[in-house]
């Protein structure tokens, strides 16, 4: 019987369980045995794995996080860690590995592929910074979490004439902040991809205030600055009452959206199908309506996925 393995690694996100479920069920349907590796690459090094059945993935689809658990594994970046991970995979007798995670995970997947082991990567990170896919798993659910929070904050902001500075995750990528600005109707979005001038923002805030619009939401991507610093500077410069909300890991959890469940199902199935067809060293992604494969080598050497300039433009235009 063919044997494949699956792991989730790096920062968790919603939709990972839906993807593992798809891998297991599509694998079993194709006559393969599927091993689940716990705690990402760390579990591969420490040999934490078990054979998964259809029932192992019952009732996980609707849950956020990852039932396989995840880890950021420094050891995997060392020669000895990589060697151990590859030896253990070979010892397990698998045809190939499906690695679900963000850029660190895909770098690990590429390193394993270079050792002659078949690997397919699945992009999963709320940051949406992975190139060659329009969307990564978890992004849509994170955005839904953010807009729920901003909708609630707008109620209290308008009740008190306050400006709220809301910090999103995203590492060096402003996708979450700028898209949430459009979707939640926030007034400003500060993202690392676009220079901003706090003096201009303060002047504009004052103008809005004079026009009778006395509450505002300022979205800040974590890569563009600290929400508390920005709030303090606004208060110092124009004396506005500000409050700060750092959304943090709240954004990563929760039941996956329909989009993420469907993306997980499609990614998982495509990864299994291609791995069993003998394709390897690739990442599955979605471009338009299509599932596409890109060489892991190309993915990891292309830097972060750039933000479509249409988003900052739209955010600015709609927040006048």
Please say which residue, 125 or 144, places its beta carbon nearer to ligand F6P.
Answer: 125
In this chain, which of 16, 37, 71, 169 binds ligand F6P, going by CB under 6 A?
Answer: 169
Which range in 109-117, 146-154, 167-175, 300-308 contacts ligand F6P by CB under 6 A?
167-175
- The count of C-alpha atoms lying within 13 angstroms of the C-alpha of 148, restricted to the half-sphere facing its C-beta, is 11
Q: d(Cα 175, Cα 131) in Å, to the nearest integer?
A: 13
CA distances from 82 to 100, 188, 231, 282, 292 (A): 17, 44, 44, 18, 27
- Closest approach, Cβ 238 to ligand F6P, in A, equals 30
Site string for ligand F6P, 57-76 (x = CB under 6 A): ---------------x----
Cβ density class 185-213: b for 16+ within 10 Å, e for less = ebbbbbbbbbebeeeebbeebeebbeeee
The answer for residues whose C-beta is within 8 angstroms of residue 213's C-beta and 6 or more apart is none
- Closest approach, Cβ 129 to ligand F6P, in A, equals 8
DSSP class of residue 305 equals P
Q: Does 170 contact ligand F6P by CB under 6 A?
A: yes
Q: d(Cα 209, Cα 214) in Å, to the nearest integer?
A: 5
For helices 227-238 and 198-210, the axis angle rounded to 10 degrees is 60
Active site residue 280: no
Please say which residue, 11 or 123, places its beta carbon nearer to ligand F6P.
Answer: 11
- Closest approach, Cβ 16 to ligand F6P, in A, equals 12
CA distances from 214 to 143, 163, 244, 294 (A): 26, 8, 16, 48
- Closest approach, Cβ 170 to ligand F6P, in A, equals 5
Site string for ligand F6P, 87-126 (x = CB under 6 A): ---------------x----------------------xx
Q: Which of 127, 140, 260, 280 is flagged as catalytic?
A: 127
- Closest approach, Cβ 222 to ligand F6P, in A, equals 6
Which range in 59-67, 164-172, 196-204, 306-314 contacts ligand F6P by CB under 6 A?
164-172
**Residue 184 belongs to what H/E stretch?**
helix 175-184
Which range in 166-174, 207-215, 237-245, 287-295 contacts ligand F6P by CB under 6 A?
166-174
The token pair that represents 297 in the structure block: 């080598």
C-alpha torsion angle, residues 118, 119, 120, 121 (rounded to 10): -170
CB 12 within 8 A of CB 18: no
In this chain, which of 21, 25, 110, 171 binds ligand F6P, going by CB under 6 A?
Answer: 171
**Residue 115 belongs to what H/E stretch?**
none
Site string for ligand F6P, 220-239 (x = CB under 6 A): --x-----------------
Q: Does 282 contact ligand F6P by CB under 6 A?
A: no
Site string for ligand F6P, 10-39 (x = CB under 6 A): -x----------------------------
Binding site for ligand F6P (CB under 6 A): 11, 72, 102, 125-127, 169-171, 222, 252
Residues annotated as catalytic are 127
């Amino acid at each position: 019987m063919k044997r494949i393995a699956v792991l989730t690694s790096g920062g968790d996100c919603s939709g990972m369980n839906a993807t593992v479920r798809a891998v297991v069920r599509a694998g079993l349907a194709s006559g393969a045995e599927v091993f689940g590796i716990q705690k990402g690459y760390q579990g591969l090094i420490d040999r934490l794995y078990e054979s998964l059945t259809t029932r192992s993935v019952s009732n996980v689809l609707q849950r956020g996080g990852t039932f396989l658990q995840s880890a950021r594994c420094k050891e995997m970046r060392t020669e000895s860690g990589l060697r151990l991970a590859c030896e253990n995979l070979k010892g397990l007798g698998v045809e190939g590995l499906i690695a679900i995670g963000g850029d660190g995970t895909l770098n690990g997947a590429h390193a394993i592929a270079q050792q002659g082991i078949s690997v397919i990567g699945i992009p999963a990170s709320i940051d949406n910074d992975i190139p060659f896919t329009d969307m990564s798993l978890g992004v849509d659910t994170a955005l839904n979490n953010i807009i729920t929070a901003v909708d609630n904050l707008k109620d209290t902001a308008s009740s008190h004439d306050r400006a709220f500075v809301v910090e999103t995750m995203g590492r060096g990528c402003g996708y979450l902040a700028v898209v949430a600005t459009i979707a939640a109707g926030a007034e400003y979005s500060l993202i690392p991809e676009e220079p901003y001038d706090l003096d201009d923002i303060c002047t504009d805030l004052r103008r809005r205030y004079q026009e009778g619009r006395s509450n505002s939401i300022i979205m800040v991507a974590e890569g563009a600055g600290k929400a508390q610093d920005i709030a303090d500077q606004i208060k110092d410069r124009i004396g506005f009452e500000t409050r700060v909300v750092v959304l943090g890991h709240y954004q990563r959890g929760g039941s996956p959206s329909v989009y993420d469940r469907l993306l997980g199902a499609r990614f998982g199935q495509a990864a299994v199908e291609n791995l069993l067809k003998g394709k390897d060293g690739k990442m599955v992604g979605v471009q338009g309506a299509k599932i596409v494969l890109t060489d892991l080598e190309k993915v990891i050497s292309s830097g972060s996925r750039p933000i479509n300039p249409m988003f900052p433009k739209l955010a600015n235009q709609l927040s006048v």
